[in-house]
Amino acid sequence: MQRQPAQAMLIDLDGVVRRWDPAVPAAAEAAHNLPAGILMQTAFAWDLLRPAIAGEITDAEWMHLVATRLPLPYDEAAAAVAEWQHHRGTVDPEALAFVREARAAGRRVGLATNATDRLRGDLEALGLTGEFDAVINSSELKIHKPAPDFFAQACRALDTEAPWVLFVDDDDRVIRGARAAKLLGFRWTGTQDLPYLRKALALPS
């Protein structure tokens, strides 16, 4: 880590600020006699996921394509997808408190996420609207992490040069991309990382 503290932070949404309950897709699969794990496996197939997070298709179109690939008649498959998607996750209270702490100390904080056009509605539903100085959404930029231009645009959104931006994500591949783009990348493993991150931002103790 560089000797001087970071001046701003970019933080990921899913797996960091937002938690997903694995019981939700499991329940939808069980209710419709689907193989365990098939909803996530299908949705995150790269040929379906990439267009959604790159803004080439809407979230609704993505979910439609997921339903067409499930081993059920379409109407039942769509119902299973809708049951799964009704749950929009929960906020990690410690991660959110850290974001607020950083902003209160004068550090600009941006949400930097690979997401669909549903993101703004999700932030509102989760009570996260207004909790960040900037929201950098891959589907709005039409480019996703870990592309170099994603990080460049995210840093511009915070008006901070890359070497002074702390980037927090739970994906190793994305962290490597951030470091290649000269950001200070840190892989999130849980709230046990918070003391280290506070030091990286030189937050008051």
What band does 2 get if pLDDT is binned at 50, 70 and 90? very low
pTM > 0.75: yes
Mean pLDDT of 145-162: 98
Contact 141, 150 (CB under 8 A): yes
Mean pLDDT of 111-132: 98
Measured from the Cβ of residue 191, the count of other Cβ atoms closer than 10 Å reads 15
**Integer Cα distance of 79 and 40 in angstroms:** 15
1 has pLDDT over 80? no
- Per-residue b/e over 49-64, b at no fewer than 16 CB within 10 Å? bebbbbbebebeebbe
